[in-house]
Amino acid sequence: MSLYPSPIGPLPPIPDDLTIPQFLLDTRHVSRPYNSYSNPWFIEEATGREIGFEEVRTRTYGLANALSSRWKIGENDVVCIFSSNHVDWPIALWAVHRLGGIVTGANPSYTAEELTYQLQMTKTKVLITHSASLSTALAAAKESGISQDRIVILNSQPDGPKSYPNVETLVRDGLSSEPSFTERRLAPGEAKTKLALLSFSSGTTGRPKAVAIPHYSVIANTIQMAVHGKANEDYTSWEDRRYRPGDAVYTVLPLYHIYGLVVNLHFYLFAGNTLVVSSKFNFVEMLKSIEKYRINHLLLVPPMIVLLCKNPATKQYNLSSLRFIMSGAAPLSAELTQQLIQILPHVSIHQGYGMTETCTTVTFPRFDQKIGTLGCAGQIMAGVVMKVVKEDGSLAKYGESGELYVKAPSIALRYLNNDEATRETFIDGWVRTGDEVYINELAEVFIVDRMKEIMKVRGFQVSPAELEGHLLNHPDVDDVCVVGIPDDYSGEVPLAFVVPSKGAAERIKKDPKVAEKVKADLTKYVADHKVYYKRLAGGIEFVDVGS
């Protein structure tokens, strides 16, 4: 076997003339289960506030109308959402899409420097942020030339010397005003090229890259998951069906991340579920919410599963409502899976695999297993074709390992303004993943290693080259190499091998105690400029030039 197709299929037609909100909010697709919408679409974890389907559509229109009338946001204008999860995060996303605009989601833990980079690269016109992230947003906006009058608060208005419009106010204004925009229907095929998202992904060199994702990719991936998971098929009893309209899904995965955005948000809403939206991961609060809201589905990353297995608080709450757990963003070991089975023997446990460049999942859980094959990253998803390229350039057979290439209707278009990286990753309709895998006769994919120099820290991509480039700007560093080292909780953490500059080496030679001060300074230098998961948790080791 040289090419590996999915055993599931074929796919039904994928609409290529719709935007994401038109697909999700305005139309019906054959792969979508019927739902009377008696259950809410969103529940705000902290307050219990419920938002139903009609309110979602109404709020989306109101915000779109206000963004259009106040700032003339329209075709291909970029809006950045710099916030933790919030029930109005998707409202903002779809409002921008109603206007023909593009959304770039930013990590709310970013430093001002990191956010500035994203705002400048994407040429952001309006910045939507959370009150908790406002000071960073203001600093980055100033550096990027974005007027403070173009900053919107996603949640309630914070106290302070200046008043900023918040989403609630804009929704009300938009609903009480005359229509200021006309939403257009895309031409046939246009959804394949019309950009919806600029999602950031680390590469093997330099700083994160903006992945250009069209509306069609999100729509296609949502349909692929629905077909692969039999979301609209009566293949077994209602009690045993995996995806059931009305089930509750815990939504703690960040919506700026492709896993949370496409799988947790779009697929599960498409399948008729209720999303309980958590603003920030807190393990005990998650357990409380599982008990309070009778959560049925958990979408997690391996560090969260470590806590489920090892934190004694797990046994203090009623988790009997849980039916399904899917882990993604980083490999889940067979050992950790077995531990989780012991803790939650009644729960179905699986993995999925994907990338920002593939607009998330290319493997998905098998529906005929309660527990996914141990160590398996999932089965090749409906509509996906894979090939595994060995070191000599030949194609691998079943069980042989090599680099994974993926072809799917959901793959992104390119990296924004980076032709070289685009040529290296997007090759004749294939995405070169940089992951070493092997595939078995059941179309199950097993991750062996990463061939690219990317670390996975708590499920987030971290580029060693980015950290190396930053450290080389410090006057005490002559050369540096950053590697990932294993960590039980985070999976990997960065460790820096540093060749001190001539001046630093002389200071250390005169007083060995200076070495610890230099290490502390370098650690702080990274912490002051990089998001928390990029910090040098693995430490710093000094090496000689000749080492």
Band (547; pLDDT cuts 50, 70, 90): very low
pLDDT score of 546 more than 50: no
Q: 373 vs 89, 383, 424, 444, CA distance in Å? A: 35, 21, 32, 8
CATH 3.40.50.12780 domain range(s) in the chain:
4-14+201-450
* Residue 206, pLDDT score: 58
Band (159; pLDDT cuts 50, 70, 90): low
Band (465; pLDDT cuts 50, 70, 90): low
Counting other chains too, the contacts that 470-476 makes at CB distance below 8 Å and 24 or more residues apart are 470/525, 470/526, 470/529, 470/530, 471/496, 471/498, 471/522, 471/525, 471/526, 474/521, 474/522, 474/525, 475/501, 475/503, 475/504, 476/500, 476/501, 476/503, 476/504, 476/518, 476/521, 476/522
The model carries a pTM of 0.87
Q: What is the mean pLDDT of residues 199-203?
A: 79
- Which segment of 102-116, 335-349, 361-375, 440-454 scores lowest on mean pLDDT? 440-454
Strand 379-380, strand 360-364: pairing: antiparallel
* Residue 329, pLDDT score: 76
Nearest of 246, 225, 239, 243 to residue 36 by alpha carbon: 246
pLDDT score of 204 more than 50: no
- Which segment of 4-18, 136-150, 167-181, 454-468 scores lowest on mean pLDDT? 454-468
Percent of the chain, pLDDT > 70?
96
- Which segment of 96-100, 490-494, 518-522 scores lowest on mean pLDDT? 490-494
Alpha-carbon distance of 114 to 530, in angstroms, equals: 7
Phi, psi for 482 (deg, rounded to 5)? -105, 130
The architecture (CATH level 2) of 4-14+201-450 comes to 3-Layer(aba) Sandwich (3.40)
* Residue 343, pLDDT score: 94
Q: What is the mean pLDDT of residues 12-21?
A: 98
Which run of H or E residues covers position 55? helix 53-71
User: Does the N-terminal peptide bond of residue 5 adopt cis geometry, omega within 30 degrees of 0?
Assistant: no
Question: Which residue do the tokens 């296609």 mark?
Answer: 220
What 3-state DSSP class applies to 102? strand
Q: 455-542, what's its fold?
A: GMP Synthetase; Chain A, domain 3 (3.30.300)
pLDDT score of 536 more than 50: yes
pLDDT score of 269 more than 90: yes
Alpha-carbon distance of 219 to 310, in angstroms, equals: 38
The identity of residue 401, as a single letter, is S
The identity of residue 391, as a single letter, is E
What tens digit of pLDDT does each residue of 75-91 get?
999 999 999 999 999 99
Q: What is the DSSP string of 212-251?
A: EEEHHHHHHHHHHHHHHTTTT---S-GGG-SS-TT-EEEE
* Residue 317, pLDDT score: 97
- Which segment of 110-114, 155-159, 386-390, 408-412 scores lowest on mean pLDDT? 155-159
Instruction: Look up residue 474 and give its DSSP letter.
Output: S
- The whole-angstrom distance between residue 351's C-alpha and the CA centroid of its chain comes to 15
What tens digit of pLDDT does each residue of 391-406 get?
899 999 999 999 999 9
The identity of residue 421, as a single letter, is A
* Residue 486, pLDDT score: 77
* Residue 228, pLDDT score: 96
Band (529; pLDDT cuts 50, 70, 90): confident
Contact between 208 and 202 under an 8 Å Cβ cutoff? The reply is yes
Q: Which comes out higher in pLDDT, residue 547 or 428? A: 428
What 3-state DSSP class applies to 67? helix
Band (479; pLDDT cuts 50, 70, 90): confident
Nearest of 479, 481, 459 to residue 536 by alpha carbon: 481
How much is the mean pLDDT over the chain? 92
Band (478; pLDDT cuts 50, 70, 90): confident
* Residue 472, pLDDT score: 76
Phi, psi for 304 (deg, rounded to 5)? -70, -35
Alpha-carbon distance of 533 to 536, in angstroms, equals: 8
Q: What is the mean pLDDT of residues 308-319?
A: 94
Band (464; pLDDT cuts 50, 70, 90): confident
Q: What is the mean pLDDT of residues 307-325?
A: 94
Q: Per the structure block, which two tokens stand in for 535?
A: 């910090």
The identity of residue 385, as a single letter, is V
Percent of the chain, pLDDT > 90?
72
Query: What is the maximum span of the chain, computed from C-alpha positions, in angstroms?
Result: 76
Sheet holding 379-380: strands in order across?
353-355, 360-364, 379-380
Q: What is the mean pLDDT of residues 505-522?
A: 88
Output helix, strand, coil percentages for the chain, rounded to the nearest 5: 35, 25, 40
* Residue 506, pLDDT score: 85
The identity of residue 294, as a single letter, is R
Contact between 181 and 74 under an 8 Å Cβ cutoff? The reply is yes
Instruction: Look up residue 290 and give its DSSP letter.
Output: H
* Residue 504, pLDDT score: 87
Nearest of 321, 301, 175, 146 to residue 247 by alpha carbon: 321
* Residue 203, pLDDT score: 52
* Residue 420, pLDDT score: 92
* Residue 1, pLDDT score: 57
Question: Which residue do the tokens 């409502």 mark?
Answer: 321
Instruction: Look up residue 100 and give its DSSP letter.
Output: T
Band (439; pLDDT cuts 50, 70, 90): very high
* Residue 491, pLDDT score: 79
pLDDT score of 140 more than 90: yes
CATH 3.30.300.30 domain range(s) in the chain:
455-542
Strand partners, 493: 485
* Residue 451, pLDDT score: 64
Residues comprising the chain, all counted? 547
pLDDT score of 499 more than 90: no
What 3-state DSSP class applies to 327? strand
pLDDT score of 514 more than 90: no
Q: 52-184, what's its fold?
A: Rossmann fold (3.40.50)
pLDDT score of 524 more than 80: yes
Cβ neighbours, 10 Å, residue 112: 18
